[in-house]
Amino acid sequence: MSSTMLSRRAFLGSAAATGAFVLGTRLVPVSVFSQDALAQGPWEPGVYLAILPDGLVRIIAHRSEMGTGIRTSLPLVVADELDADWARVTLVQALGDKKYGSQNTDGSCSIRDFYEPMRVAGATARTMLEQAAAKTWNVPVAEVAARNHAVVHGASGRSLGFGDLVATARTLPVPAAASLQFKKAEAYRYVGTPMPSVDLEAIVKGQAVYGADVERPGMLLASIVRPPVLGSTLTSLDDGAARKVAGVTDVVKLAEATAPFGFKPLGGVAVLGTSTWATLQGRKALNAQWSASPNASFDSATFRKTLVDVVHTPGRVVRTQGNVDATIGVGPTHEATYYTPMLAHAPMEPPMAVAEVTGGKAEIWTCTQNPQAVQDTVAQALGITPEDVTCHVTLLGGGFGRKSKPDYAAEAALLARQVGKPVKVVWTREDDLQFDFFHAPSAQYLKAAIGPDGLPTAWLQRTAFPPIGSTFDEKEQYGGGQVNMGFTDLPYPIANLRVENNPAPAHVRIGWLRSVAHIHHAFAVQSFTDELAALAKADRVEYLLRIIGQPRVIDLAAEGAKGVRANPQHPFDTARLRRVIELVAEKSDWAKKPAAPGRALGIAAHYSFFSYIAAVVEVEVNARGQVKIPRVDVAVDAGTIVSPDRVASQFEGAAVFGTSIALLSEITAREGRIDQTNFANYILARQDNAPKETHVHVVKSTAPPAGVGEPGVPVIMPAIANAIFAATGKRLRDLPMRKVPMNG
């Protein structure tokens, strides 16, 4: 311990209230050290920032940057509260360390959970700098104020830079959180403005460093042949030819993982060498044979039928009100079944990790969404403690949930220990698509009794999908919290309503993909709603507003939902859902663009990650059945917005991501092996089939910040399906839609 010591105290009540977990560690000055020694070093009034005696402000970016701009946005909040000059701020990417609270950059929660703690960090330091200036000038603290990297005394015109105040500030007690004064929203200089990402310059110059780009002295490259079916094991290996490839240095067997698979490395045979090309050539020359596994029975086409069949049988009830059985047979009814396939994350940068292991300690450099999980997973693989694992976080060439699962970091660590040298594990695109933690395949069955006004009087819906829980407990077949993602929380006030979940076993590793179960649930619910609107011959926007009904705050527990906990920070308010629907209808010129053969608009609205989203998608379907998307409008209410341009870019990107899911992408399996190998058969939207223009309309709000990275995706698939129906009369209930001829 040098000039500071660790002191545990509650960081702040409000931090805990926003769900930011433990932020309890603060660095506070210790008076036993001499003032001279202290004056030299950076002053650290909290874990997220330091101010150097030369005035430079150093802010910790503790979340992972995968394209959302979070590495810029959260530090901007600190800088704004501090009244720092952004030009005199440097960012330091945090190592994995529990002292920062959760670093798992996942679940669209970075701003949601850390907006308050960042404001507190900035306000704490600013308050102490102001107190230091007041003390220096011997004036009341109320007479001074921080202004652009200095504290000024208005009455006398005196001013001292932040750096000049560090020596005094560090001797002051850290103010109680409750005593802090925050800036008014109007006073923000950075929050709410389109500030560019700190990585922009490096990216356009090709200088940005991703996991793939890390190099250590004496490093070997490694490529791994993994068990082709989950649970199969190596039965024979001939590596003679592989070892003869120039540049190949080692062939290493890694023990196969057993269930539950969790984040464990899968095992297999690694080929190591002095260049990537050598390891890839060596790998091709391996002759490895694998045992059978119970998962070899997995055939995705057969499994589709299993899912569809099971949702036509009673499931586990997760929400019930009124009496569906007594009412759903009365009068006209409508029913439909939906299916969505397995999906892969396919970030443009596949998983990559570099490891060095020496003397019982591991050092990792990797593109990870979750450096603390890297510490845990590597520690477990090596039999050391998480504190003995240092995790450096690089930029991520996309994540989408894949890179919060650090199996690849553990592979690198095991190999580095084995060969006694730094090792970079390179996942090929083929590896990435075949050994993903897949988005689950799913089926939904929906049935409604329709009243004289066209609105449902009774509603039954069921969903089945192998749950994420199966990756951690192979016996798990029910969706748990994933059922609540856009399904249990159906926002329609229907007197007789039942929501059920049917079981589904997993045969591959199931994981969370951007928007998770909202992907399939929004597709089913918003498609079905459109089907009911069509039956009622109603305008789709009007029908959507009618079925949502009068504005209300939904109390799911009172409406028969089991095990759903309300979040007091984020009540589900249908007034906000209605507002985004009205806004998107207006901005898309909905009323002036009636459907015509081959060209139509479609709408969908969905609530996820506490954000309210509505989208209108315009499609054109030509005589050959090809779909083009000239325009997407998205209305967004995500509460308080920190970085409006990055918010817009997330929704633009989500429209493309959703288009891939709707029209193009599918993972299939036969005999337990994944069929897709590369972008030729795992198809993603490109310039020609992505939406031409996406217009993002953000509702101004001072509500607590909600999610942005994920909520843009779920609306896109149903909005496209609904538009295609309006343009062609074809109702597409299976994804991806390219598999069904639209002109037939």
Partner 1 sequence: MSQTSSATTSTIALVVNGEARTFEGDPQTPLLWVLRDTLKLTGTKYSCGIGLCGACTVHMDGRPIRSCATAVSLVAGKKITTIEGLAPAGAEHPLQTAWKAHQVPQCGYCQSGQIMQAAALLATRPNATEAQIESYMDGILCRCGTYQRIRAAIKDAQAAGRQG
Tell the smallest beta-carbon distance from residue 737 to partner 1 (Å): 18
Q: Check binding of 246 to partner 1 (CB under 8 A).
A: yes
In terms of CB distance, is 346 or 415 closer to partner 1? Answer: 346
Helix (H) or strand (E) holding 60: strand 57-61
Binding mask 202-221 for partner 1 (x = CB under 8 A): -xxxxxxxx-xx-x-----x
Distance CA 621, CA 643 (A): 36
Binding mask 661-680 for partner 1 (x = CB under 8 A): -----------------xxx
Distance CA 537, CA 524 (A): 20
Tell the smallest beta-carbon distance from residue 355 to ligand FES (Å): 24
In terms of CB distance, is 78 or 212 closer to ligand FES? Answer: 212
176 touches, from ligand FES, partner 1, none (C-beta below 5 to 8 Å by class): none
381 touches, from ligand FES, partner 1, none (C-beta below 5 to 8 Å by class): none
Q: Check binding of 615 to partner 1 (CB under 8 A).
A: no
Amino acid at 359: G
Give 240's contacts (C-beta < 8 A, 6+ positions apart). none
Amino acid at 8: R
Percentage helix, strand, coil for the chain under 3-state DSSP, each rounded to 5: 35, 25, 45
> What is the binding site for ligand FES (CB under 6 A)?
67, 348, 398
Structure tokens at 233: 């094991």
Coil/strand/helix, residue 392: strand
In terms of CB distance, is 67 or 96 closer to ligand FES? Answer: 67
Find the residue with minimal CB distance to ligand FES. Answer: 348
In terms of CB distance, is 133 or 248 closer to partner 1? Answer: 248
Structure tokens at 577: 């859902």
Q: Check binding of 639 to partner 1 (CB under 8 A).
A: no
Q: Check binding of 690 to partner 1 (CB under 8 A).
A: yes
Tell the smallest beta-carbon distance from residue 738 to partner 1 (Å): 17
Tell the smallest beta-carbon distance from residue 177 to ligand FES (Å): 38
In terms of CB distance, is 299 or 645 closer to partner 1? Answer: 645
Structure tokens at 151: 């504290």
Tell the smallest beta-carbon distance from residue 427 to ligand FES (Å): 13
The DSSP output letter for 510 is: B
In terms of CB distance, is 187 or 246 closer to partner 1? Answer: 246
Region near partner 1 per CB under 8 A, out of 225-233, 270-278, 311-319, 584-592: 270-278
For residues 601 and 721, is the Cβ–Cβ distance under 8 A? no
Q: How far is CA 461 from CA 337, 443, 505, 683, in A?
A: 10, 11, 20, 30
Region near partner 1 per CB under 8 A, out of 343-351, 453-461, 577-585, 587-595: 343-351
Tell the smallest beta-carbon distance from residue 719 to ligand FES (Å): 23
For 622, list phi and psi in degrees, rounded to 5: -90, 180
The DSSP output letter for 395 is: B
> Which of these, 188, 201, 184, lies nearest to 73 by C-alpha position?
188
For residues 703 and 668, is the Cβ–Cβ distance under 8 A? no
Tell the smallest beta-carbon distance from residue 348 to ligand FES (Å): 4
163-202 residues in contact with partner 1 (CB under 8 A) are 194, 196-197, 199-201
For 235, list phi and psi in degrees, rounded to 5: -105, -30
Exposure of 285 by Cβ count < 10 A (0-12 exposed, 13-18 middle, 19+ buried)?
middle
Q: Please identify which residue in the block is written with the tokens 């959760």.
A: 102
Coil/strand/helix, residue 412: helix
Q: What is the dihedral of CA 80, 82, 86, 90, to 10 degrees?
A: -130
Binding mask 53-72 for partner 1 (x = CB under 8 A): ------------xxxxx---
For residues 435 and 441, is the Cβ–Cβ distance under 8 A? no
For residues 465 and 441, is the Cβ–Cβ distance under 8 A? yes
112 touches, from partner 1, ligand FES, none (C-beta below 5 to 8 Å by class): none
Structure tokens at 230: 């989950």
Tell the smallest beta-carbon distance from residue 615 to ligand FES (Å): 21
Give 564's contacts (C-beta < 8 A, 6+ positions apart). 319, 484, 488, 489, 556, 557
Distance CA 725, CA 721 (A): 6
In terms of CB distance, is 347 or 406 closer to partner 1? Answer: 347
In terms of CB distance, is 210 or 298 closer to partner 1? Answer: 210
In terms of CB distance, is 476 or 652 closer to ligand FES? Answer: 652
Tell the smallest beta-carbon distance from residue 744 to ligand FES (Å): 34
Structure tokens at 82: 């501090």
Structure tokens at 75: 């530090």
Amino acid at 284: K
Candidate residues 5, 10, 348, 591; the one interacting with partner 1 per rule CB under 8 A: 348
In terms of CB distance, is 476 or 633 closer to partner 1? Answer: 633
Q: Check binding of 423 to partner 1 (CB under 8 A).
A: no
Region near partner 1 per CB under 8 A, out of 410-418, 439-447, 453-461, 691-699: 691-699
In terms of CB distance, is 348 or 575 closer to ligand FES? Answer: 348
Candidate residues 642, 657, 722, 738; the one interacting with partner 1 per rule CB under 8 A: 657
Q: Check binding of 284 to partner 1 (CB under 8 A).
A: no
Tell the smallest beta-carbon distance from residue 655 to ligand FES (Å): 14
215 touches, from ligand FES, partner 1, none (C-beta below 5 to 8 Å by class): partner 1
In terms of CB distance, is 247 or 480 closer to partner 1? Answer: 247
Distance CA 338, CA 521 (A): 9
Tell the smallest beta-carbon distance from residue 279 to ligand FES (Å): 16
> Which of these, 101, 112, 93, 91, lies nearest to 18 by C-alpha position?
112
Distance CA 322, CA 328 (A): 11
Structure tokens at 722: 């609904």
| Site residue total, partner 1 (CB under 8 A) | 67
Q: Check binding of 400 to partner 1 (CB under 8 A).
A: yes
Tell the smallest beta-carbon distance from residue 660 to ligand FES (Å): 12
> Which of these, 595, 621, 469, 480, lies nearest to 540 by C-alpha position?
595
Amino acid at 653: G
Which residues are at the interface with partner 1 (CB under 8 A)? 65-69, 194, 196-197, 199-201, 203-210, 212-213, 215, 221, 246-247, 275-278, 281, 346-350, 395-400, 426, 428-429, 645-646, 649-650, 652-657, 678-680, 684-688, 690-694
